[in-house]
Amino acid sequence: MRTVVGLMSGTSMDGIDAALLRTDGIARVEPLAFVTIPYEDGFRAALRGVLGGKGPVEAVERALTDAHADAVRRLLDEAGVAADAVDLIGFHGHTIHHAPEQRRTWQIGDGPRLAAATGIAVVNDFRSADVAAGGQGAPLVPLFHRALADSLPRPIGILNIGGVANVSWIGAAGDGGGAVVACDTGPGNALVDDWVLRHGGGRFDAGGALAASGTVDGAALAALLDHPYFDRPTPKSLDRDAFDPSPVAALSPANGAATLTAFTAETVARIVPHLPAPPVRWLVCGGGRHNATLMGMLAERLGVPVAAVETAGWDGDALEAQAFGYLAVRSRLGLPLSEPATTGVTAPITGGRFHPVAA
């Protein structure tokens, strides 16, 4: 067992999730502490400005890395754990460009700088090896989900609704320890977040209240769904801004929110025929599980129980950060981070780049 910190800066750009856990990188996971450090509006704008790899990437990368070092200090202070009791940091960084078909994925985050600032060895750059080997480079949380889901009824769908939404389908226990099939399903909250921000309603649709007050526009929803991504078989992955929200542009704030929320729910439902068998149950993590309107739309469309991962005793805000702590340990052990059915890579492959603390 190792004591590790996992750090995630997700596509919704809300801030840094930092988790402390003990894990063997295989079957054992013991969460210890978790904090979220929201980004300041100014930094969020700077981050948005380098999406796509444009603008002052190096300066933003340094600031992002320093913000992660602060997050580690805050996490360890809160947990009452000294830095020298931590073996490793798994540092996802922030995705500013993702184009696996061009064998390109780019997460900013300076590993040596974070190791120097914290005095803890770092693993970063989790996605490049998979993409270089022909994989999608995402999603990478499925092997962690499988470790957690060991005792749950299966097949199960574990759905993460962040800026982008992704599913891990985990098969029955007899099935070689549980086969995993994964992909990004479509948009998560990013389109709704952008819509709400543009209409002066804050950074997101709290509780899904705005969407609940509107009506789904069938024609706009059909136009949004008219995209080749949804017919593509798994595995497949998305960049944050893969979808064009212009079909809702002329709608009222409430109807636009309702339609974009339905778009997320509908695209999750459309993944079911691509899975080996329909899940008997769905567990939802990521910020989208706080959106009651979205959760209701999902339950309606999926027709089986849909609940937040808290019903299984997990922390739905912490899971991604925990996953990158777990994957950092797997990286050090040379174990796979991805498999053909999770990213489309030709064979199970490890990944990550190790940065020891300089002597």
Ligand X SMILES: CC(=O)N[C@H]1[C@@H]2OC[C@@H](O2)[C@@H](O)[C@@H]1O[C@H](C)C(=O)O
Could you tell me which residues are annotated as the binding site for ATP? 10-17
Looking at 135-143, 250-258, 292-300, 306-314, which segment touches ligand X (CB under 6 A)?
135-143
Candidates 3, 23, 36, 95; binder of ligand X (CB under 6 A) is 95
Scanning 52-160, the segments in alpha helix (DSSP H) are: 57-79, 111-118, 128-132, 142-148
In a 13 Å sphere around the CA of 292, the CA atoms on its Cβ side amount to: 6
Distance of CA 25 to the CA centre of its chain: 19
Residue 206's identity, in one-letter code, is: A
Candidates 100, 188, 235, 245; binder of ligand ATP (CB under 6 A) is 188
Quick check: 293 and 208 in contact, CB under 8 A?
yes
Q: Which does 205 bind (CB under 5 to 8 A by kind): ligand ATP, ligand X, none?
A: ligand ATP
Taking CB under 6 A as the rule, does residue 17 contact ligand X? no
Tokens representing residue 119 in the block: 């005095």
Distance of CA 199 to the CA centre of its chain: 26
Cα dihedral 75/27/188/243 (nearest 10): 110
Candidates 127, 320, 339, 351; binder of ligand ATP (CB under 6 A) is 320
Footprint on residues 298-327 left by ligand X (CB under 6 A) = 320
Taking CB under 6 A as the rule, does residue 166 contact ligand X? yes
Q: Least distance (Å) from ligand X to the CB of residue 11?
A: 5
Q: Which does 118 bind (CB under 5 to 8 A by kind): ligand X, ligand ATP, none?
A: none
Q: Least distance (Å) from ligand ATP to the CB of residue 110?
A: 20
Q: Least distance (Å) from ligand ATP to the CB of residue 205?
A: 6
CA 346, CA 349: separation in Å to the nearest integer?
8
Residue 33's identity, in one-letter code, is: A
Candidates 7, 29, 141, 341; binder of ligand X (CB under 6 A) is 141
